[in-house]
Structure 1
């Protein structure tokens, strides 16, 4: 019998998501197609139901981006029904304008071959000319039209998320359910801080991302691909901590990668942990990491990795 990982509620949306989610950034376009089909089919068989397949580029970009387009072919080749997985799309605020988010979303859905997204995540808030009420009402319209089921935000400040929640409550429409945040043994200040604790109490949940710091915490201290931003400029310290972190993983009888994933699941607000994989072995490893929390215990894991909290007292817990 195939062992399946558990699911957790995606806020109050009524959606149950797998505790692991598979991303697509710099993924499927680096893989042999048959290998990608095998990997995604294996993931679904073992309970991974949430797939992040955002459009990471724009028309005319060279080289063109097509990892999301490949995903549509992968699920067809694997024989996976649309009802058997959750689709998460990114919506970029840089593209918000006439028509709201709808033109951008319809383009993304066209590329991925789906009529709707179960979840959309708004990208980083870098514009100061947006009315948050307009965003909330626009997303409510997309939900009413059946184009999305629920929504969340990526790396927004606690104050701005709280404003979104207040607006949604006042307007009587669904608010954000998910905050996608960097969360790892090294980057904990924001999700573990008091400002976000108040949001967790209001029912917001977290999608942990960048849990391996682009592979650095897994032991690849010189990644061969692009790694995400470095808030607090702590990456040099993270690299220096890798040998000691690996030693703790060895004490637990696991790998650094599995311990990094397991840690992300110890936060009470974590609904799902987002990871990238370009090899089936990586998916298998992360699936095994889920059981570590039960085997070792969340409190023990958090205690033993405390010395690797690199952004403590460096990054503002209120967020960007």
Structure 2
């Protein structure tokens, strides 16, 4: 496993982060989740990402139970706040001081830890003054309940404003967690340049485009049993944007590129995002331990310019690049 600094900080994280969105407490049983986390630890992954909203808090509980007994100082545990949890009352969502302060306590309890290494705003809250949000995050940091602050899916302007307030308050906003893959490149034109300027790294989710870049979905073919596209608990909806015949046909062109690089298609996809120097880590999820072992082989891989060009030739014309796609909800989901 290779490690990279997260933003302009001294915190090192593993190039591969294990995340449990759509898996723990939802898509896979707890014993399978346990095996997947143990596989991640065995492969040298030290960074684990979750959120209170995943499986309505259950994902945090599962991760906390599995990591219990591990040396805490050897791990980097990340979680997030914003989306509704619990009974989803009028104050059970957003980035108000009330929701942040109550949410961090719940997350720490479920994760069975005294602090998280990174506490992230899961989206930008258009209904709460940013000053209130950042002051609450600053108080969480000063109380020792989080070491650093991050965000997820914030656009360039939101990053600039949040970073400026964090600096005034004496806390470190060091990361953004956006979707990024060969097929989803909306951060490249605005978010990445702003992040480089501010000392913010990307921790990217869905580097394999919800499994599409593995090549297992074929144009006109049946959906593999147990795959995300066949998952009625949320996976199918998220993957639908890529389930077009033109996209699936283009993805098949990646197979010889991966073979020439000595990689599986999934490894090629993860290695591709890690070639971006502003990316500190690629988030992977897994419903089987072997998926963890496969994806982790992308760590430390260098793709040459010719390989990168072949990838662009195969799928680049179909990639979404509109920076306007990097945005937060216009109103809270209450």
TM range (shorter): 0.7 to 0.9
Provide the rounded CA distance (Å) in 1 between the counterparts of 2:159 and 2:5: 19
1:183 equivalenced with 2:180 (yes/no):
yes
Q: What count of residue pairs does the alignment treat as equivalent?
A: 302
TM-score for the superposition, normalised by structure 1: 0.85
> What does residue 166 of structure 2 align with?
168
1:83 equivalenced with 2:82 (yes/no):
no
1:306 equivalenced with 2:312 (yes/no):
yes
> What does residue 323 of structure 2 align with?
316
Question: Per-residue deviation at 1:116?
Answer: 1.1
For residues 26-58 of structure 1, give each alpha carbon's deviation from its aligned partner in whole angstroms, at most 9, with x where no partner exists.
223344545443432332233211111212258
1:52 equivalenced with 2:52 (yes/no):
no
Question: Per-residue deviation at 1:243?
Answer: 1.0
Question: Per-residue deviation at 1:66?
Answer: 1.8
**Contact 1:23 / 1:275 at 8 angstroms: preserved in 2?**
yes
Residue aligned with 1:11, SS: coil
Unaligned runs of 5+ in 2: 84-92, 218-222, 224-228, 328-334
Residue aligned with 1:250, SS: helix
- Quick check: 192-201 or 29-38, which moved more? 29-38
**Cα distance change of structure 1 residues 310 and 50 upon mapping to structure 2, 3 Å threshold:** farther
Tell me which of the two structures has the higher relative contact order, counting C-alpha pairs closer than 8 angstroms and 6 or more residues apart.
2
Alignment of 1:85-124 (within 5 A): 85-92=75-82, 94-97=93-96, 99-124=98-123
TM-score for the superposition, normalised by structure 2: 0.82
Residue aligned with 2:299, SS: helix
1:66 equivalenced with 2:58 (yes/no):
yes
Question: Per-residue deviation at 1:201?
Answer: 2.6
Provide the rounded CA distance (Å) in 2 between the counterparts of 1:186 and 1:177: 25
**Contact 1:193 / 1:317 at 8 angstroms: preserved in 2?**
no
**Contact 1:10 / 1:17 at 8 angstroms: preserved in 2?**
yes
Unaligned runs of 5+ in 1: 59-63
**Cα distance change of structure 1 residues 227 and 115 upon mapping to structure 2, 3 Å threshold:** farther
RMSD over aligned CA atoms reads 2.5
Residue aligned with 2:209, SS: coil
Residue aligned with 1:80, SS: coil
**Contact 1:44 / 1:85 at 8 angstroms: preserved in 2?**
no
Question: Per-residue deviation at 1:21?
Answer: 0.3
For residues 172-203 of structure 1, give each alpha carbon's deviation from its aligned partner in whole angstroms, at most 9, with x where no partner exists.
4224211111111111232x214531321321
> What does residue 280 of structure 2 align with?
271
Question: Per-residue deviation at 1:309?
Answer: 2.4
**Contact 1:195 / 1:317 at 8 angstroms: preserved in 2?**
no
> What does residue 251 of structure 1 align with?
260
**Cα distance change of structure 1 residues 70 and 144 upon mapping to structure 2, 3 Å threshold:** same
For residues 185-235 of structure 1, give each alpha carbon's deviation from its aligned partner in whole angstroms, at most 9, with x where no partner exists.
111232x2145313213211111111111111112324222157579x565
Question: Per-residue deviation at 1:248?
Answer: 1.8
Provide the rounded CA distance (Å) in 2 between the counterparts of 1:318 and 1:199: 17
